[in-house]
Amino acid sequence: MSDEQETQETTAATVADIEEPTAAVPPSTESDDVPVAATVETADTSASDAASPPPEPEVDPEPKVERTAEATPEARLEPVPVAADATKDAEPVAAPSGGRPASTHPAPPPESDPTALDPRKRVPPVYRANQGPSQSRFRPRHVATDVPLEQIHYKNIEILSQFLDRQGRILSRRKTRVSAKKQRRLKTAIKQARHLALLPYTPSHIRGRR
């Protein structure tokens, strides 16, 4: 109990000068049990609360130091995964695929996620974006799509010539919008007509240049 009295005296005495008695007194009294740093901390942390008996501050300050030491790395480590989780949650799709440290790279997970989870939601807008101009570009220019199949033969040059472009090339089915069967007949008919010189392989103004 003499220790308590001494500490109380020191605390009371050291209202003006805190450092000197605390540094001076404890090593003399508590040199066996308490390390120096602990006693200094007890005196520093609580001048008024230090009225508690010395064995308790012996126990407390050490784990406090340890806790603070542990708490700071935890605090340093924790906000990073929390931030990563927040970014993952903030992204539209939940991230089961995110084995990555995806917080630094926000771009790859949205690419990998829709394809893995539901490709139908992400793909259509891209597909529409590509198809928008293409529809206008490849709208069927030839109304001869309704040509009866019987009329597609190599002698019917008037019809066959509608399926050639200005260079004499056979128009693709994407442009002609003809059924596959008719397009096949058109192909053979045009090639037969070319063989007989009923249709040109290439336009004359190009052929004449040498």
What span, in angstroms and rounded, lies between the C-alpha atoms of 109 and 99?
A: 10
CA angle 101–105–110, rounded 5-degree value? 100
Q: Which is nearer to other proteins, 128 or 155 (CB)?
A: 155
Report, in Å, the least distance between residue 199 CB and other proteins: 5
Q: Which is nearer to other proteins, 140 or 203 (CB)?
A: 203
At 120, list the tokens.
């139908």
Q: Which is nearer to other proteins, 35 or 200 (CB)?
A: 200
Report, in Å, the least distance between residue 143 CB and other proteins: 23
DSSP H helix total and E strand total for the chain: 12, 0
What span, in angstroms and rounded, lies between the C-alpha atoms of 67 and 77?
A: 15
CB-based burial, 137-154: b 16+ in 10 Å, e otherwise: eeeeeeebeebeeeebeb
Q: Which is nearer to other proteins, 89 or 146 (CB)?
A: 146
Report, in Å, the least distance between residue 200 CB and other proteins: 4
Report, in Å, the least distance between residue 151 CB and other proteins: 8
Report, in Å, the least distance between residue 176 CB and other proteins: 21
Report, in Å, the least distance between residue 152 CB and other proteins: 9
Q: Which is nearer to other proteins, 89 or 158 (CB)?
A: 158
Q: Which of 154, 199, 152, 209 is CA-nearest to residue 179?
A: 152
**Residue 142 in contact with residue 162, Cβ under 8 Å?**
yes
Please state, in angstroms and as integers, the Cα–Cα distance from residue 104 to each residue in 45, 61, 96, following that order.
Answer: 40, 39, 17
Q: Which is nearer to other proteins, 155 or 169 (CB)?
A: 155
**Residue 168 in contact with residue 203, Cβ under 8 Å?**
yes
Interface residues with other proteins (CB under 8 A)?
150, 153-155, 192, 194-202, 204, 207
